[in-house]
Amino acid sequence: MAVDNQNIRIRLRAYDHRVLDQSTIEIVNTAKRTGARVRGPIPLPTRIERFTVQRSPHADKKSQETFEQRTHKRLIDIIEPTAKTVDELKKLNLPAGVDITIKI
């Protein structure tokens, strides 16, 4: 019994790839357990932001430090979700550093 023949697209973003991969495995296992087909997790390109800062507040312009912040992304498509799949995904408890976006 499919819910109006729709797909659920889940986008996950996190700074730590280990926490992100753990969350995707949890979502995929939950969806498969409830009888839905899963496409993914598909790794999307990592966004790298670099910041260059002077080490000293006043002198020595040549002495600079570079920091970077990486945003890892994953995409999961749940095909033919059942009503039980939607309920189980709502109950799912994800770690704190993961940003999740769900489109139906």
What's the whole-number mean pLDDT along residues 20-35?
89
Q: Is 91 helix (H, G, I), strand (E, B) or coil?
A: helix
Q: What is the pLDDT of residues 47-81, one digit of tens each?
A: 999 999 999 888 888 899 999 999 999 999 988 88
How far is Cα 75 from Cα 41, in angstroms, rounded to an integer? 5
pLDDT at res. 70: 95
Whether the Cβ atoms of residue 48 and residue 68 lie closer than 8 Å to each other: yes
pLDDT over 90 percentage in the chain: 37
Q: Where are the beta strands (DSSP E) in 2-98?
A: 7-14, 37-54, 64-79
DSSP state of 60: -
Residue 3 has pLDDT above 80, yes or no: no
Q: Report which residue type is found at 50.
A: R
Q: Report the interhelical angle of 83-91 vs 17-33 (nearest 10°).
A: 150
pLDDT at res. 2: 44
DSSP state of 19: H
pLDDT at res. 90: 84
pLDDT at res. 57: 85
